[in-house]
Amino acid sequence: MKFDLHTHHFRCGHADGNIRDYVEAGIAAGLSVIGISDHTPYFGNPEEHPFPHIAMAKKEFGNYVEEVLKLKQEYEGQIDVLLGIESDYFPAHAETYRQVLSQYPFDYIIGSVHSVNEVSIFNKKRWKSLTDEQRVADKETYYALIRESARSGMFQILGHIDAMKGNYPAFSDIPAAEAIDDTLQVIADNGVAIEINTSGKTKLSGGWYPSDSILERALHFGVDVTFGSDAHTPLRVADEWDDVAARLKEIGFTEWVYYKNKQRIAVPL
């Protein structure tokens, strides 16, 4: 039973295609379940559309939800279309996000840390003038934010938990094993899943988020796992699904999960 919970579309300003294109791509890829999970608008920013190439305008949010719900009905019996969202996690605005998101019937919410100390995690320049100690500190701050997002109770799934390596592959070698173990423990304790996100191939790091070594630790701590292609083009829907399933089995996982109506559904691997 194949599923993909992480897909985008044109509204965010940096993805191709409309939602229907992703649903159709899901059917073509043999998915039983496709989750649509575009980026949240910047709810904490006073402007209507502050970053048109990063996220949709606030006024588009209702249209987004409505469109997914319509497609859910239209495709019933063919493919299960789930209403998701990839929410930024900004601690200062968490209550605003919680309040807005609670007004819509999401099947699940992916919580993603996209900035650390107010700089994008994908910004290569952020590492340039840092000492070794400062690099360790930034990595630890990233994982502290992920722990906070897990404890917030806002999310069913945490997005791409080592994506800081995306444009800075050396990130994986910055020593912070304890921070990662603490984070996985908190994630497990809070009953939140992590995704295996196959979009690392679109960045300098290549590979998946998170790395196999983190997945091995995740199994040890009893963390649930799910799948997300993070497709920004319909061509990437379900990308590398079979490889991920095979790798998870090798590591020792026996099931993975998806969420519908915020209820956890386990699927044998």
User: Is 112 one of the binding residues for Zn ion (CB under 5 A)?
Assistant: yes
Site string for Zn ion, 25-64 (x = CB under 5 A): ----------------------------------------
Q: How far is the CB of 193 from Zn ion (least distance, A)?
A: 15
Answer left, alpha or beta for residue 240, where phi above 0 means left and psi between -120 and 50 means alpha. Answer: left
What is the 3-class SS of the chain, one letter each residue?
A: CCEECCECCHHHCCCCCCHHHHHHHHHHCCCCEEEECCECCCCCCCCCCCCCCCCCCCCHHHHHHHHHHHHHHHCCCCCEEEEEEEEECCHHHHHHHHHHHCCCCCCEEEEECCEECCEECCCHHHHCCCCHHHHHHHHHHHHHHHHHHHHCCCCCEECCCCHHHCCCHHHHHCCCHHHHHHHHHHHHHCCCEEEEEHHHHHCCCCCCECCHHHHHHHHHHCCEEEEECCECCHHHCCCCHHHHHHHHHHHCCCEEEEEECCEEEEEEC
Stretch that binds Zn ion, among 116-124, 133-141, 143-151, 154-162 (CB under 5 A): 154-162
- From the list 199, 107, 115, 188, the residue with the least C-alpha distance to 147 is 188
Q: Which is nearer to Zn ion, 41 or 159 (CB)?
A: 159
Minimum distance of Zn ion from residue 110's CB (angstroms): 8
Measured from the CB atom, is 84 or 159 closer to Zn ion? Answer: 159
- Provide, rounded to whole angstroms, the least separation between the CB of residue 197 and Zn ion: 8
Smallest distance, Å, CB 131 to Zn ion? 28
Query: At its nearest, how many Å lie between Zn ion and the CB of residue 14?
Result: 6
Q: Which is nearer to Zn ion, 32 or 141 (CB)?
A: 141
Question: What is the Cα 183 distance to its own chain's centre?
Answer: 16
Structure tokens of 27?
């059917």
Q: Which is nearer to Zn ion, 26 or 159 (CB)?
A: 159
Residues pairing with 80 in the sheet: 33
- Measured from the CB atom, the residue of 32 and 115 that comes closer to Zn ion is 115
Binding residues for Zn ion, rule CB under 5 A, total 2
Nearest-approach distance from CB 66 to Zn ion, in angstroms: 21
- Least separation in angstroms between CB 18 and Zn ion: 15
Residue closer to Zn ion by CB (options 159, 210) is: 159
Q: Is 199 in the site for Zn ion (CB under 5 A)?
A: no
Among the candidate windows 109-117, 140-148, 149-157, 259-267, which touches Zn ion by CB under 5 A? Answer: 109-117
Residue 113 or residue 180: which is nearer to Zn ion going by CB? 113
User: Which region, judged by CB under 5 A, interacts with Zn ion, from 101-109, 151-159, 209-217, 260-268?
Assistant: 151-159
Residues near Zn ion, by CB under 5 A: 112, 159
